[in-house]
């Protein structure tokens, strides 16, 4: 039956309070275009100067940790895509590695090489995206178009590999589901050969640009102590004078076999962070060239395995499932009930484009994790705004948020 | 004997488990097997009670008393070069042990080592905040409070961080429901009009942001609303913004917008 509506009009009183001081409270976000997602900043202003900042988060909270406790391990993989959706394979990888360490699996070499390719492509994508959006926030429209054009090439390559552009789910626990397509290496080579010129183009436009320098240099200086205390990682930490890259210091995958440098700076300002991202793109390209060689060596040596062999935890290859009864049974159990990792706990950090992405898993031997904690770098890179913003002016807020490179899928989880 | 299963645990459960299945363990190693960790553990043991310590997946795990947490972390930070608190949170063990396990994930960049400090607190107990040592704990402890309801003493701003401020319940508890209340749409209707009026009133519109897409007549005609189906002439009279019906709602006076005043004294 139709609803009988009674008209409700809002109840309000015009209330104003006289304040003693000149402090104004400005509500920045949650729908501000340069808040890079759903960040609400409550800023206390003295004229144009910020005296107190209170970041308010949670607008994108989906309860991923709770979801993880109610999913079998493989089921959670696509959910990790939605954390840092700018570089989703790095989330997939972090989770896969944590579960592999929990089980004690060794991944075949060819899968490792493909994973490294995916990770570095994701890093490039993330840094290009960062450059595009931050430059746009500061007013450099050309850079935005340039960087998005390059990112599009990479997204096309990845689309060819896994069929998705943003939410890849391209990595499985125990390896990778597919070998790279035939055109992958050729396309990647074309991209990588062009990349140095592209990066030089960006730098030519930005490095001596007066506006860019004024918005970047000596703005948002994070001291070394502050960065360490706030749990900053990745480019944020390296720009503040700590040479710490997990790929180098605690190598996972085959990062100990490739040659690359870890750029760092002791300036700690926006410009230092900008330089970090640019240099890291060059280093990623260096790593990608080496992974291509490593991949071709794998092909030559006839290493075709893409998934680890471990019948208790990992399904057999499709051919076996279709032809052998026992593999089919195992696959059925693993799909319907899920794998049951041993009792124990791990905390596995990886170097995602934004910083240290850690997965803490507490398993009680069941098919669902007893507790899964996602340690995401952006969470603390948002928290640091509390201490970083006071003393700055309103226009600096935009450039500081830009260089922290926060993604809200990761902050709120 | 049948295995005890907590009744109020609403988490998803494995629908089938082999009764003779014994889960393997992730191997634990003696702390003595690693020189750096052995030294660190000795330094902790010299001042504090250590309940258990082992190495699992290349990281040392140390169980301490909950009242020592600030001092142990202070020792780790100042003397043992563990300069970063990567992560901290809690694990809900309410059903089995009536408490929470809290872990602090520490990183030493000079030693290239990670260790985990763990402690157990009873339900309802608070922990000492380590925010003075590591600023990152400011947000972690707020998140822990939000998700588990564990409060941190001496924390500067112990408020929810991810959930709205007025939220009831703590989502990461095992007893927290996985689904919403499907009857919630009827609660207000039943209370105000009675159950028998359900057919007439219909369920409450719970989505406040919902816009009826076919209601193009009255949408954005604030202050000039007309009943549905009326032809719009453009000369609709202004609707008085009077609050509801006469003596309808308890404690709420009828508001006449014309008579509203600007309050200058906040104390009134």
Per-residue pLDDT reduced to its tens digit, B84-95: 999 999 999 988
Q: Helices A183-206 and A141-162, interaxial angle, to 10°?
A: 170
Query: CA geometry: angle at B203 spanning B201 and B204, to 5°?
Result: 95
- Of A56, A80, A96, which marks where a domain is finished? A56
CA distance A38 to A58: 8
Helix intervals (H) in B28-135: 35-47, 69-78, 94-97
Kindly report the nearest CA distance between residue B94 and chain A, in angstroms: 13
The answer to whether residue A3 sits within a structural domain is no
CB–CB contacts below 8 A, A to B: 163
The answer to whether residue B180 sits within a structural domain is no
Write out chain B residues lying below 8 Å of A97, CB-based.
none
The structure tokens listed for A23 are: 């402090």
Cα A341 from chain centroid?
26
Query: Residue B146 has what pLDDT?
Result: 92
- Per-residue pLDDT at A4 exceeds 60: no
pLDDT bracket for residue B213 (50, 70, 90): low
The structure tokens listed for A78 are: 């696509």
Higher pLDDT, A9 or A242: A242
Cα B151 from chain centroid?
11
- Per-residue pLDDT at A11 exceeds 60: no
Kindly report the nearest CA distance between residue A242 and chain B, in angstroms: 9
Mean pLDDT to the nearest integer, A311-317:
89
Query: Residue B165 has what pLDDT?
Result: 83
Query: What chain B residue is nearest to A248 in terms of C-alpha separation?
Result: B112
Higher pLDDT, B237 or A152: A152
Both A48 and A80 in a single domain? no
Pairing of strands B50-56, B28-29: antiparallel
Write out chain B residues lying below 8 Å of A384, CB-based.
135
Across the interface, which of B109, B163, B260 has its CB nearest the CB of A14? B260
A13/B225 touch (CB, cutoff 8 Å), yes or no:
no
CA distance A338 to A72: 5
Cβ-based neighbour number of residue A195 at 10 Å: 20
Tell me which residue of A170, A145, A140, A143 sits closest to A158, measured CA to CA. Answer: A170
Model confidence pLDDT, tens digit, residues A199-239 = 999 999 898 888 888 888 888 899 999 999 998 999 999 99
Cβ-based neighbour number of residue A74 at 10 Å: 20
A342/B24 touch (CB, cutoff 8 Å), yes or no:
yes
3 state SS of B65: coil
pLDDT bracket for residue A123 (50, 70, 90): very high
CA distance A137 to A116: 31
- Per-residue pLDDT at A395 exceeds 90: no
The answer to whether residue B98 sits within a structural domain is yes
Residue-number span of the structural domain to which B97 is assigned? 28-153
Kindly report the nearest CA distance between residue A194 and chain B, in angstroms: 36
User: Residue A119 burial (CB < 10 Å; 0-12/13-18/19+)?
Assistant: buried
Query: Residue A317 has what pLDDT?
Result: 87
Mean pLDDT to the nearest integer, B8-18:
83
Contact A167, A81 (CB under 8 A): yes
What's chain A's average pLDDT? 88
Query: Residue A129 has what pLDDT?
Result: 93
Write out chain B residues lying below 8 Å of A3, CB-based.
200-202
Tally the domains of chain A: 2
- Per-residue pLDDT at B222 exceeds 70: no
The answer to whether residue A343 sits within a structural domain is yes
Write out chain B residues lying below 8 Å of A360, CB-based.
87, 89, 103, 105
A371/B24 touch (CB, cutoff 8 Å), yes or no:
no
The answer to whether residue B66 sits within a structural domain is yes
Helix (H) or strand (E) holding B139: helix B136-148
B139/A383 touch (CB, cutoff 8 Å), yes or no:
yes
The answer to whether residue B78 sits within a structural domain is yes
Phi then psi for A393, rounded to 5 degrees? Answer: -105, 165
Across the interface, which of A1, A6, A11 has its CB nearest the CB of B200? A1
Query: Residue A131 has what pLDDT?
Result: 92
Mean pLDDT to the nearest integer, B40-46:
91
Query: Residue B189 has what pLDDT?
Result: 87
Both A37 and A184 in a single domain? no
Both A159 and A32 in a single domain? no
pLDDT bracket for residue A17 (50, 70, 90): low
Both A90 and A51 in a single domain? no
Model confidence pLDDT, tens digit, residues B103-113 = 999 999 998 99
Tally the domains of chain B: 1
Query: Residue B90 has what pLDDT?
Result: 94
Higher pLDDT, A5 or A224: A224
Q: What is the DSSP letter of B33?
A: G
CATH of the domain at A244: 1.10.645.10
Both A159 and A49 in a single domain? no
Across the interface, which of B105, B135, B266 has its CB nearest the CB of A230? B135
Tell me which residue of A376, A375, A372 sits closest to A410, measured CA to CA. Answer: A376
Both A37 and A104 in a single domain? no
Query: Residue B267 has what pLDDT?
Result: 62
Both A34 and A150 in a single domain? no
Query: What chain B residue is nearest to A249 in terms of C-alpha separation?
Result: B112
Tell me which residue of A158, A154, A166, A152 sits closest to A192, measured CA to CA. Answer: A154
Mutate to test the interface with B, among A373, A390, A410 (most CBs of B within 10 A): A373
pLDDT bracket for residue A290 (50, 70, 90): very high
Residue-number span of the structural domain to which A43 is assigned? 24-56
Query: What chain A residue is nearest to B12 in terms of C-alpha separation?
Result: A70
Q: Provide CB contacts within 8 A for A145, sequence distance 6+.
A: A132
pLDDT bracket for residue B221 (50, 70, 90): low
- Per-residue pLDDT at B127 exceeds 90: yes
Mean pLDDT to the nearest integer, A180-187:
89
Model confidence pLDDT, tens digit, residues A326-339 = 999 999 999 988 89
Tell me which residue of A260, A254, A312 sits closest to A287, measured CA to CA. Answer: A260
Pairing of strands B127-128, B152-153: parallel
The answer to whether residue B9 sits within a structural domain is no
Write out chain B residues lying below 8 Å of A249, CB-based.
109, 112
Kindly report the nearest CA distance between residue A273 and chain B, in angstroms: 20
Both A45 and A179 in a single domain? no
- Per-residue pLDDT at A42 exceeds 80: yes
Mean pLDDT to the nearest integer, A11-23:
59
- Per-residue pLDDT at A242 exceeds 60: yes
A2/B24 touch (CB, cutoff 8 Å), yes or no:
no
Both A199 and A325 in a single domain? yes
Contact A342, B28 (CB under 8 A): no
CA distance A264 to A63: 35
The answer to whether residue A4 sits within a structural domain is no
Q: Helices A88-103 and A73-80, interaxial angle, to 10°?
A: 160
Query: Residue B13 has what pLDDT?
Result: 84
The answer to whether residue B60 sits within a structural domain is yes
Q: What HEC string does chain A produce?
A: CCCCCCCCCCCCCCECCCCCCCCEEEEECCCCHHHCCCCEEEEEEECCEEEEEEEECCCCCCCHHHHHHCCCHHHHHHHHCCCCCCCHHHHHHHHHHHHHHHHCCCCCHHHHHHHHHHHHHHHHHHHHHHHHHHHHHHCCHHHHHHHHHHHHHHHHHHHHHHCCCCCCCCCECCECCCCCCCHHHHHHHHHHHHHHHHHHHHHHHHCCCHHHHHHHCCCCCCCHHHHHHCCCCCHHHHCCCCCCCHHHHCCCCCCCCCCCCCCCCCCCCHHHHHHHHHHHHHHHHHHHHHHHHHHHHHHHCCCCCCECCCCCCCCCCHHHHHHCHHHHHHHHHHHHCCCCCCEEEEEEEEEECCEEEEEEEEECCCCCCCEEEEECHHHHHHHCHHHHCCCCEHHHHHHHHHHHCCCHHHHHC
Mutate to test the interface with B, among A11, A37, A64, A412 (most CBs of B within 10 A): A11
The structure tokens listed for A315 are: 């399904």
Contact A28, A397 (CB under 8 A): yes
pLDDT bracket for residue B209 (50, 70, 90): low
A14/B266 touch (CB, cutoff 8 Å), yes or no:
no
Query: Residue A283 has what pLDDT?
Result: 92
B138/A362 touch (CB, cutoff 8 Å), yes or no:
no
Phi then psi for A192, rounded to 5 degrees? Answer: -65, -35
- Per-residue pLDDT at A256 exceeds 70: yes
The structure tokens listed for B92 are: 């809900």
The answer to whether residue A11 sits within a structural domain is no
Query: What chain B residue is nearest to A412 in terms of C-alpha separation?
Result: B162
Query: Residue A377 has what pLDDT?
Result: 92
Write out chain B residues lying below 8 Å of A62, CB-based.
none
Query: What chain A residue is nearest to B171 in terms of C-alpha separation?
Result: A66
pLDDT bracket for residue A66 (50, 70, 90): very high
Contact A174, A313 (CB under 8 A): yes
The percentage of residues in chain A with a pLDDT greater than 70, rounded to a whole number, is 95
What's chain B's average pLDDT? 83
The answer to whether residue A245 sits within a structural domain is yes
Contact A353, A126 (CB under 8 A): yes
Mutate to test the interface with B, among A103, A347, A378 (most CBs of B within 10 A): A347
The percentage of residues in chain A with a pLDDT greater than 90, rounded to a whole number, is 52
Both A152 and A195 in a single domain? yes
Mean pLDDT to the nearest integer, A53-80:
91
CA distance B194 to B136: 51
Cα A9 from chain centroid?
46
- Cα dihedral B87/B93/B99/B101 (nearest 10): -20
The answer to whether residue B129 sits within a structural domain is yes
User: Residue B230 burial (CB < 10 Å; 0-12/13-18/19+)?
Assistant: exposed
Both A52 and A155 in a single domain? no
Mean pLDDT to the nearest integer, A291-315:
90
CA distance A295 to A180: 10
pTM of the predicted model as reported, rounded to 2 decimal places: 0.82
Both A50 and A68 in a single domain? no
The answer to whether residue A13 sits within a structural domain is no
Across the interface, which of B16, B23, B164 has its CB nearest the CB of A342? B23
- Per-residue pLDDT at B16 exceeds 70: yes
Tell me which residue of A380, A382, A381, A387 sits closest to A50, measured CA to CA. Answer: A387
- Per-residue pLDDT at A362 exceeds 80: yes
CATH of the domain at B79: 3.30.460.80
The answer to whether residue A220 sits within a structural domain is yes
Contact A77, A92 (CB under 8 A): yes
The percentage of residues in chain B with a pLDDT greater than 90, rounded to a whole number, is 37
The answer to whether residue A6 sits within a structural domain is no
Query: Residue B237 has what pLDDT?
Result: 77
Across the interface, which of B59, B87, B176 has its CB nearest the CB of A373? B87
Write out chain B residues lying below 8 Å of A373, CB-based.
87, 89
Pairing of strands B28-29, B84-93: unpaired
The answer to whether residue B162 sits within a structural domain is no
- Per-residue pLDDT at B23 exceeds 70: yes
């Amino acid at each position: 039956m139709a609803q009988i509506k009674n008209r409700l009009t809002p109840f309000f009183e015009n209330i104003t309070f006289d304040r003693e001081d000149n402090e104004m409270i400005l509500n920045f976000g949650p729908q501000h275009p340069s808040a890079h997602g759903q960040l609400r900043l409550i800023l206390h202003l003295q004229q144009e100067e910020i005296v107190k900042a209170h970041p308010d988060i949670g607008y994108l909270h989906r309860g991923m940790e709770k979801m993880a406790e109610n999913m079998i391990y493989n089921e959670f993989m696509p959910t990790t895509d939605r954390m840092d959706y700018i570089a989703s394979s790095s989330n997939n990888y972090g989770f896969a590695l944590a579960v592999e360490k929990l089980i004690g699996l060794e991944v075949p070499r060819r899968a490792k090489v493909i994973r490294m390719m995916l990770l570095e492509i994701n890093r490039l994508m993330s840094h290009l995206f960062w450059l595009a959006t931050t430059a746009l926030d500061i007013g450099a429209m050309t850079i935005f178009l340039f960087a998005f054009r390059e990112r599009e090439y990479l997204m096309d390559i990845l689309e060819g590999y896994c069929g998705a552009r943003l939410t890849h789910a391209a990595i499985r626990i125990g390896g990778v589901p597919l070998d790279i397509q035939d055109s992958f290496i050729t396309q990647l080579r074309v991209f990588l050969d062009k990349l140095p010129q592209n990066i030089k183009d960006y730098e030519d436009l930005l490095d001596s640009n007066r506006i860019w320098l004024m918005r970047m240099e000596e703005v948002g200086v994070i001291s070394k102590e502050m960065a360490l205390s706030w749990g900053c990682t990745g480019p944020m930490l390296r720009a503040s004078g700590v040479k710490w890259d997990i790929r180098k210091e605690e190598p996972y995958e085959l990062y100990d076999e490739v040659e690359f440098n870890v750029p760092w700076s002791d300036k700690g300002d926006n410009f230092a962070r900008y330089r970090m991202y640019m240099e890291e793109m060059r280093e990623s390209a260096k790593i990608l060239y080496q992974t291509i060689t490593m991949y071709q060596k794998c092909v030559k040596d006839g290493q075709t395995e893409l998934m680890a062999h471990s019948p208790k935890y990992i399904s057999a290859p499709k051919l076996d499932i279709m032809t052998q009864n026992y593999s089919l049974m195992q696959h059925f159990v693993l799909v319907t009930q899920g794998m049951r990792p041993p009792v124990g706990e791990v905390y596995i950090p990886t170097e995602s484009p934004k910083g240290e992405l850690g997965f803490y898993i507490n398993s009680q031997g069941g098919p669902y994790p007893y507790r899964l904690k996602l340690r995401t770098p952006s969470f603390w890179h948002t928290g640091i705004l509390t201490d970083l913003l006071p003393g700055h002016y309103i226009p600096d807020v935009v450039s500081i948020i830009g260089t922290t490179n926060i993604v809200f899928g990761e902050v709120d989880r | 004997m049948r295995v005890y299963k907590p009744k109020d645990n609403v988490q998803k459960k494995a629908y089938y488990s082999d009764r003779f299945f014994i889960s393997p363990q992730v191997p634990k190693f003696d702390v003595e097997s690693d020189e750096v960790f052995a030294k660190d553990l000795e330094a902790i043991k010299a001042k504090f009670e250590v309940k258990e310590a082992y190495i699992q997946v290349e990281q040392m795990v140390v169980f301490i008393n909950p009242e020592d947490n600030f001092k142990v972390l202070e020792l780790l930070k100042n003397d043992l070069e563990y300069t970063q608190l990567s992560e901290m949170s809690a694990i809900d063990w309410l059903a089995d042990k009536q408490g929470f396990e809290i872990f602090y994930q520490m990183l030493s960049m000079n030693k290239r080592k990670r260790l985990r400090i763990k402690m157990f607190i009873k339900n309802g107990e608070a922990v000492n905040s380590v925010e003075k040592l590591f600023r990152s704990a400011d947000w972690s402890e707020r998140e822990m409070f939000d998700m588990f309801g564990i409060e941190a003493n001496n924390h500067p701003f112990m408020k929810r961080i991810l959930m709205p401020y007025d939220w009831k319940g703590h989502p990461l508890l095992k007893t927290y429901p996985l689904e919403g209340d499907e009857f919630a749409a009827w609660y207000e209707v039943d209370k105000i009009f009675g159950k028998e009026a359900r057919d007439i009133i219909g369920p409450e519109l719970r989505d406040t942001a919902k816009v009826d897409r076919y209601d193009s007549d009255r949408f954005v005609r604030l202050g000039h609303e007309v009943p549905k189906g009326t032809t719009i002439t453009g000369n609709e009279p202004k609707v008085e913004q009077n609050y509801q019906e006469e003596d309808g709602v308890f404690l709420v006076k009828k508001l006449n917008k014309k008579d509203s005043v600007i309050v200058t004294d906040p104390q009134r």
